[in-house]
A = this chain, B = another copy of it.
Amino acid sequence: MALVTYISAITEALREEMRRDERVFIIGEDVGVEGGVFKATKGLYEEFGAERVIDSPLAEGVIVSAAIGAAMAGLKPVPEIQFSDFITPAMDALTQQAAKLRYRSGGTQTCPLTLRVCYGGGVGGGLYHSQTNTTWFAHEPGLVVVAPGTVADAKGMLKAAIRQDDPVIYFEHKKLYRSIKEDLPDGDDFVTDLFKAAVRREGKDLTLVTYGWTLQLSLQAAEKMHAETGAEIEVVDLRVLNPLDKDTFLESLAKTGRMLIVHEDHKTLGIGAEIAAIAAEQAFDCLDAPIVRLTAPDVPAIPFSAPLEKFYLPSVEKIVDAATKLLNY
């Protein structure tokens, strides 16, 4: 057992999978010599060399497309997008190529790759270093989209993604990188189910559905409310955004009758829309109250100046507020 951060869990997962399977390779901007702008690939260039840790040209489209081709040819690419904000040049590669290759070829051609994408705000990054953009891909069948919210998942889901026979987009929240630590078992067989949500905290009064950094905020809010009022909030960590594990949150809702969805992405067509819509369709009789979404407001992106960013982002206080109102409905 060792106490590790979210980001070192990522590095470890990459290292272990690269040692385990020589078909695994990394490609992206600054991933090699520099070890990544956040140091997620630190040390891998030294261990595996320039052939397996490729500093690509500044072109996200070719980073992903080259990975698609290499995956078709039997390798296991782990491309990286430095910031989710810069994923647009790879939009075609992801949505028209990777997502549809298996389908359009009737299952005869596939491209199992794992795209790591750094996303999220709250670190003063402003409009173009804070975006989420998961909706674009959660909306695309054929892609698996995961977003680990714990250190154990950061490791186990990345390893599982690399071994998965589908294109996976792995969204890692930059604010989690160094802010959370967990004890993790050593050894390279620490692989997590990619397709199941997880109940992170049990409770009978309200189902709080979230993922990523807001999972941490939600857990804090739940503890706080418990301490203050005795309320028992069940916190569901989505973990996978596409295809969604509906059962976990619907089972919880069947128990609690109330649902609060929290995410950092803005409201309209954020993943919360789908969660709410599923609940309103498949668990209507379970509902004792409106389904509430606590999200960023519908503005183009996280503005830079501190008070604006604060206004934009969910916080423990905002969650407590929304949950309290919903409990009192």
Contacts and interface: CB of A to CB of B under 8 A. Distances in A.
Interface residues of A, number: 50
Contact of A277 (B89, B103, B276, B287): B276
Interface string A65-103: 000000000000000000001001101100110011001
A281 B290 contact: yes
Contact of A103 (B103, B136, B301): B301
A16 interface: no
A152 interface: no
B100 A301 contact: yes
Given A104-B127, A273-B273, A300-B99, A266 B141 contact: yes
A276 B280 contact: yes
A292 to B, nearest CB: 6
B290 A282 contact: yes
A147 interface: no
B298 A291 contact: no
Given A92-B88, A276-B276, A300-B99, A139 B128 contact: no
Contact of A291 (B88, B135, B280, B301): B280
Interface in A264-288: 266, 268-277, 279-282, 284, 287
A269 B138 contact: yes
Contacts of A135: 135-136, 139, 269
A40 to B, nearest CB: 24
A242 interface: yes
A104 to B, nearest CB: 6
A115 B214 CA distance: 35
B299 A291 contact: no
B300 A290 contact: no
A34 interface: no
A43 interface: no
A125 interface: no
**What 6 A-B pairs have minimum CB-CB distances, sorted nearest first?**
A276-B277, A88-B92, A284-B290, A139-B269, A91-B91, A280-B280
